[in-house]
Amino acid sequence: MLGTYYYHEIIRKTIIGFGTLFNQIVIKHDDENGNAYSEMQVPLSYGPSQKFLARIEQQRDLNKPVQITLPRLSFEMTGLSYDPTRKTGVTQTFKAVSESDSKVKKVYMPVPYNINFELNAFCKLNDDALQIVEQILPYFQPSFNITVDLVDSIGEKRDIPIVLDSVSFQDDYEGDFSTRRALIYTLQFTAKTYLFGPVAESSDGLIRKVQTDLYSDTNTQTAKREVRYTAVPDPIDAEPGDDFGFSESWTDFDDAKTYSPTRKQDI
In a domain, 135, yes or no: yes
If you average pLDDT over every residue of the chain, what do you get? 82
In a domain, 25, yes or no: yes
In a domain, 146, yes or no: yes
CATH number at residue 175: 3.30.2000.40
Query: Is residue 40 located within the same domain as residue 88?
Result: yes
Query: Is residue 132 located within the same domain as residue 259?
Result: no
CB 72 within 8 A of CB 185: no
Query: Is residue 70 located within the same domain as residue 88?
Result: yes
Query: Is residue 215 located within the same domain as residue 187?
Result: no
Give the pLDDT band of residue 32 (cuts 50, 70, 90): confident
Pairing of strands 245-252, 259-260: unpaired
| 45 or 171, higher pLDDT | 45
Q: What's the CA gap between 87 and 222, in Å, rounded?
A: 39
Query: Is residue 149 located within the same domain as residue 238?
Result: no
What pLDDT was estimated at residue 75? Answer: 93
In a domain, 103, yes or no: yes
| 51 or 193, higher pLDDT | 193
Condensed to tens digits (0 to 9), the pLDDT of residues 203-236 reads 556 678 888 888 888 786 777 888 999 998 888 8
For residues 172, 173, 179 and 183, what is the CA-based torsion angle, rounded to 10 degrees?
Answer: 50
Number of domains composing the chain: 2
Q: What's the CA gap between 159 and 137, in Å, rounded?
A: 20
Query: Is residue 135 located within the same domain as residue 258?
Result: no
Direct distance between the N- and C-terminal alpha carbons of the chain, in angstroms, rounded to an integer: 41
Q: How confident is the model over 234-261, as a mean pLDDT?
A: 82
In a domain, 47, yes or no: yes
Instruction: From 201, 226, 246, give the residue that closes a domain.
Output: 201
Q: What's the CA gap between 78 and 53, in Å, rounded?
A: 17
Query: Is residue 42 located within the same domain as residue 165?
Result: yes
Condensed to tens digits (0 to 9), the pLDDT of residues 85-106 reads 988 776 677 666 666 666 777 7
What pLDDT was estimated at residue 66? Answer: 41
In a domain, 2, yes or no: no
Instruction: From 201, 229, 257, give the residue that closes a domain.
Output: 201
Contacts with 1 (C-beta within 8 Å, 6 or more apart), sequence order = none
Q: Is the pLDDT of residue 65 over 60?
A: no
Overall size of the chain counted in residues:
267
In a domain, 5, yes or no: no
Q: Is the pLDDT of residue 63 over 90?
A: no
Instruction: From 201, 220, 237, give the residue that closes a domain.
Output: 201
Query: Is residue 106 located within the same domain as residue 128?
Result: yes
Query: Is residue 227 located within the same domain as residue 255?
Result: yes
Contacts with 246 (C-beta within 8 Å, 6 or more apart), sequence order = 231, 232, 233, 234
Q: Is the pLDDT of residue 56 over 60?
A: no
Query: Is residue 183 located within the same domain as residue 256?
Result: no
Query: Is residue 81 located within the same domain as residue 157?
Result: yes
What pLDDT was estimated at residue 172? Answer: 64
Domain enclosing residue 237, as ranges: 210-266
What pLDDT was estimated at residue 243? Answer: 81
DSSP structural state of residue 111: E
Residues forming beta bridges with residue 251, ordered by sequence position:
228
Q: Residue 146's closest CA among 15, 8, 5?
A: 15
What pLDDT was estimated at residue 39? Answer: 87
Condensed to tens digits (0 to 9), the pLDDT of residues 109-160 reads 889 999 999 999 988 888 899 999 999 999 999 899 999 999 888 888 899 9
CB 160 within 8 A of CB 35: no
What pLDDT was estimated at residue 5? Answer: 86
Q: What's the CA gap between 185 and 170, in Å, rounded?
A: 6
Q: What's the CA gap between 196 and 150, in Å, rounded?
A: 8
Query: Is residue 152 located within the same domain as residue 65?
Result: yes
What pLDDT was estimated at residue 16? Answer: 94
In a domain, 192, yes or no: yes
What pLDDT was estimated at residue 35? Answer: 82
